[in-house]
Chain A
Amino acid sequence: MYRSYGMKRRSLVAAAVGGVPFAIGLAGCSQGSSSGGGSSDAVTLNGDRADFTDAYKLAGAELEAITGYGIEPRNVPSTENYQQVVRSSLQTESTTDLVKWWNGYRLQDLARSGGLADLSQQWESAVDKGWVNPETRESFSYDGKVYGMPMYKSYWVMFYNTNVFDEVGIAPPTTWEEFDQNNAALKDAGVTPLFATQEAGWTSSIWFAELLSKLDPQFYVALMAGEAKYTDETTQEAMRIWSEMYAKGYFTAADVAWDSEPSLLANGEVAQVPMGTWRNGTFAEAGLGEGDYSAFLLPMIDPNAAPSTIVESGVISVAEKTPKQEAALETMANWLDPAVQQVWVENIKDTSANPQVTTDDPILGTVLEAVSAQTPTELVRYWEASPPALIEGGVQYLGAFMADPSEANIMPTLENLQALADEEWAKWDAGS
C-alpha cells in the first residue's frame, strides 16, 4: 500500500518539473551541436537553405577542380535553429569549416565574438582579379577586416504579373506617379495591386525600407546607422505614404501567408510583389513561365532624388576554430572564380557578386539592364543594416503598424521604434 502523502509529494515534484519540458530543454539546447567531420577532400558548409544543397555540390565540384577541395553541405532547415547551432558550435572545434551567414551587422555580431577567420587577403585577391566590387567591402567587414565572401547579389525589385498588366492595359512605371496610377487601375480592375504581409515576421520591414529608401536614400542610410531618428519628419512622411496606400486598398491583408505569395502572383490575384531576386527561382517553381512575369526597379518617390536600390547578399564565412582552416581559406579564395560562380548562380537563379558573371535568365537580365541604365546607389537591406536586436524588435513594431495602418498609429509606432533604437544602439556600442 502506498503512503498517500509521500506519493503526493514525489508526484508533485515530478509533475511540476515535467510540466515545463520546454523551459528546461533550453539550457540543454544552448550547449552546441557537433557538426564537424566530413571527408578529407571536401570542406563542410553549414546552411539554412535546403534548396541550395544541389547548387553547393555543383559549385563544390568546380572548386575541387581548382583547389582539390569540394563542398560537403550540411543543412539546418529552421533559420532560428540554424543561428543557434552556429552560435554555439563556432566556439568549438566541432564547427563546420564554412558557415552561411548574413552580411552587415549580422556578420559583425558573429565576427566580434572571435568565431570567424579573417578573409581580408582573399578579398583583396578577388578585388585584384576584378571578381568583386570593392565598394561593397564595408558590408562584409568588421573593424576593418573582411569576414565573409558574398554568396550572391540580390537586388530588391518589384516582380509583376505581365498578363495582368496587359489585361489592365498598364506598363511598368518609370515615375512614382505612374506607379500610383497603375495601382489605382489595378484596384479598379479587382486585382490587389501589391503584396504585403507581416505574417512571416521579417516581412514587415519590406515596405518600410522600400518607401523610406525611395523617398530619401541618404536618410535611410543615416537612420540605419543610428545617425537619424525614427521620429524624424522623413520617416513620418514615409509612414504617411504607407498609411495612405493602405487606405486606398493597395495591399493584401496583413496576415496573408508569406508562403502563398508566389501562387498569388502566379494566379493574378496580386499584381506586384516587392522581393529580392533570390526569390526568382521560387516564382518559376510556382508556375510562372517565361513571359508570365517580369521585374522593374521601383521608381523614386522624390523625382529629384538619385536612384537607389536595396541590395542583399548572404555570406560564406570561415570558422576560426576549424581544424581544416587552410582548406577552407583556399576554398574562399576561389569562391568568386567565374567558373564556380557561373554554375552556382545558374542553379540558384540569382545574380552573382562577381560582375564578370553573366546570366541568361530573362528576368535577371531585365533587372541587370535596369541597374546598368539607372546606376542606382546600392543600399544594405533593413535586415542587415542595423544591430540584429534592433531589427528583430523593429519588425515587431512595423508588423503591429501593418495590422493597424492608421495615421493615428504612425507616431506611437515611430516613438516605440526610436525608444528601441536608443536602447539597442547603446547596447551595441557597449559591445554587449
Chain B
Amino acid sequence: MGRGFIAMALLEKQRTEAGAGNPRPRLSLRTKDRLSAVPFLVGPVALVGVMLLVPFVATAYQSLTDDDGFTSSFIGFDNYVALLEDPTFVRSLLNTLLWTVGTLILPVGIGLLIAVLTNAVPGGRWLKYVFVLPYALSGTATAVIWGFILRSDGALNQAIEFFGGDAAASGWLLTWPTNTIVMIVASTWQATGVTVILFMIGLQAIPKEVVQAGELDGASGLRLFWHVILPQLRPVTIVVIGMSIANSLRVFDLIWLLTKGGPGAASETLAVTMYRQTFILSDYGAGAAVAVVLSVIVVGASWFYLRHQYKRG
C-alpha cells in the first residue's frame, strides 16, 4: 500500500515533468468548481480517515498509556523514556539503519546493473525474468526457502563442506551482524525483481536520439552510462529509492520467520520490536510507542527524501 502511494506520487511527478516542455495555461478554479469537487472527495477522505488516521491517533494515544490488554492507565511519555533506556531498542534502531542502507545499496544497485546489462545483451529480455521471478514469491515463502539455505544444517553449509571448505562454526543466523547481513541478502534476492522492471521501463523510455547524440559527441561505455543514461533514469530512480526506504523500514516477515529477531534480540528491527512488545510481552503501550517512533521515521524519511528530490527536480 505504502509502495503504491509513493509510486503514484512519484509517477505523478514524472508526468508533471514530462508535460513541462509543453505548458498549458493554468486554469484558476472558481469557488463553485471547488465545491463541486467535495462530493467526490468525501468517499476517499472518509476511507483514509477511518482506515488510517483514526487508528493512528488511537495508537499515538495508546503509546502514552500503561496498557496490558486488560487495563489501561495514562502515564505520559514513560514508554518513550523506557525505550530510550532499553539497549534492545537501540540495537533495533541500529539494525533498522543497517537494513535501510543495505536495501538502498543492494536491490537498487543490483537492479540497475541487471537492467542495464540485460538491456544491452541479446536475449537479455528473457534473462531478466530469472531475476524478476523471486519477486512473485511472498515474504513468507522467501523466508522458508532461505531458512533451508542459511541454518547451520542448511544447504549453504553443506555446499561449503562439499567443496572442502570449513562451514562457519556458528551459523549464519546466529551471530550479529552476520545474521542481519544475510537476511538483507535474502531480501535483496526477493526484492530486486521489481527494481529491475522499473529500471527496464526507464531505460526503454530514454529517447534513442539522446543516446545517439551522446555517442556522436564521443561518449561510450561507462562515460555514456554515467553522463547520458543515468541522468535520464533519474525519475525512475527516485521511485525505486523511495520504495526501498519504505520497504526497509517496515521489514518484518523475513526476520520473524528466520530468526524471530534473535538470538536474544540481536537481529530485531523496529517492526519486530513493535510486534514483540505488543503481542509477546503484552505491553501494548510500549508496542504502540515503538509504532509511533517507526511511523515518525518512515514519514520523516519519505518526506525528507521526496522533498529533497523535488527541490532538485
Contacts and interface: CB of A to CB of B under 8 A. Distances in A.
Contacts of B279: 80-81, 83-84
B202 interface: no
Nearest to A16: B299
Contacts of A389: 281-283
Contact of A19 (B24, B69, B249, B259): B249
Nearest to B24: A1
B274 A22 contact: yes
A136 interface: no
A21 B26 contact: no
Interface stretch (A35-43, A144-152, A248-256): A248-256
Given A24-B59, A255-B152, A257-B147, A113 B19 contact: no
Given A20-B250, A80-B280, A397 B291 contact: no
Contacts of A84: 69, 279
Interface in A58-100: 80-81, 83-84, 87-88, 90-91
Nearest to B23: A1
A198 B263 contact: yes
Interface in A1-47: 1-4, 7-8, 11-12, 14-28, 30
Contacts of A255: 151-152, 171, 173-174, 259
Interface stretch (A277-285, A331-339, A362-370, A399-407): A399-407
A19 B4 CA distance: 9
Given A18-B52, A253-B151, A399-B264, A26 B175 contact: no
B271 to A, nearest CB: 6
A254 to B, nearest CB: 6
Contacts of B153: 252-253, 256
A16 B297 CA distance: 10
A201 interface: yes
B9 interface: yes
B262 interface: yes
Interface residues of B, number: 71
Contacts of A80: 279-280
B263 A399 contact: yes
B187 to A, nearest CB: 16
Given A4-B13, A255-B152, A399-B262, A20 B287 contact: no
Contacts of A12: 9, 302-303, 306-307
A304 interface: no
A372 interface: no
A11 to B, nearest CB: 3
Nearest to A81: B279
What is the interface of chain B mostly: helix, strand, loop, or mixed?
Answer: helix
B152 A253 contact: yes
Contacts of A90: 70
A198 B151 CA distance: 12
Contact of B295 (A2, A20, A199, A403): A20
Contacts of B292: 23
A14 B9 contact: yes
Contacts, number: 195
A21 B51 CA distance: 10
What is the interface of chain A mostly: helix, strand, loop, or mixed?
Answer: helix
Contacts of B58: 27-28
A388 interface: yes
A276 interface: no
Given A12-B303, A14-B48, A19 B59 contact: no
B21 to A, nearest CB: 14
B68 interface: yes
Interface in B18-74: 19, 24, 26-27, 48, 52-53, 55-56, 58-59, 62, 66, 68-71
A15 B6 contact: yes
Contacts of A252: 153
A234 interface: no
Contacts of A15: 2, 5-6, 8-9, 242, 246, 302, 306
Nearest to A252: B153
Contacts of A256: 151-153
Contact of B16 (A4, A23, A388): A4
Given A404-B170, A432-B68, A19 B278 contact: no
A75 to B, nearest CB: 18
A168 to B, nearest CB: 21
B71 to A, nearest CB: 7
A361 interface: no
Contacts of A53: none
A87 B70 contact: yes
B69 A87 contact: yes
B104 to A, nearest CB: 16
A19 B68 contact: no
B310 interface: yes
B56 A17 contact: yes
A256 B147 CA distance: 9
Contact of B12 (A7, A19, A23, A24): A7
Interface in B190-244: 242
Contact of B70 (A24, A83, A113, A388): A113
Contact of A397 (B8, B19, B52, B264): B264
Interface string A382-396: 000000110011001
A253 B295 contact: no
B89 interface: no
Interface in A197-213: 198-201
Contacts of B295: 20, 23-24
B50 to A, nearest CB: 10
A11 B12 contact: yes
Contacts of B114: none
A412 to B, nearest CB: 11
Contact of B274 (A23, A87, A403, A404): A23
A199 B85 CA distance: 27
Given A11-B12, A115-B70, A403-B175, A19 B246 contact: yes
5 contacts: A2-B16, A23-B292, A24-B59, A199-B260, A200-B260
Interface of B: 1-2, 4-6, 8-9, 12-13, 15-16, 19, 24, 26-27, 48, 52-53, 55-56, 58-59, 62, 66, 68-71, 147, 151-153, 170-171, 173-175, 242, 246, 249-250, 252, 259-260, 262-266, 271, 274, 278-284, 287-288, 291-292, 294-295, 298-299, 302-303, 306-307, 310
Closest 10 CB pairs between A and B? Answer: A400-B264, A253-B152, A11-B9, A19-B2, A113-B70, A403-B263, A16-B299, A87-B69, A23-B291, A15-B5
Given A11-B8, A81-B279, A257-B151, 15 more contacts: A8-B13, A12-B307, A15-B8, A15-B302, A16-B303, A18-B2, A19-B299, A20-B299, A22-B250, A91-B70, A198-B263, A253-B153, A253-B174, A256-B151, A393-B281
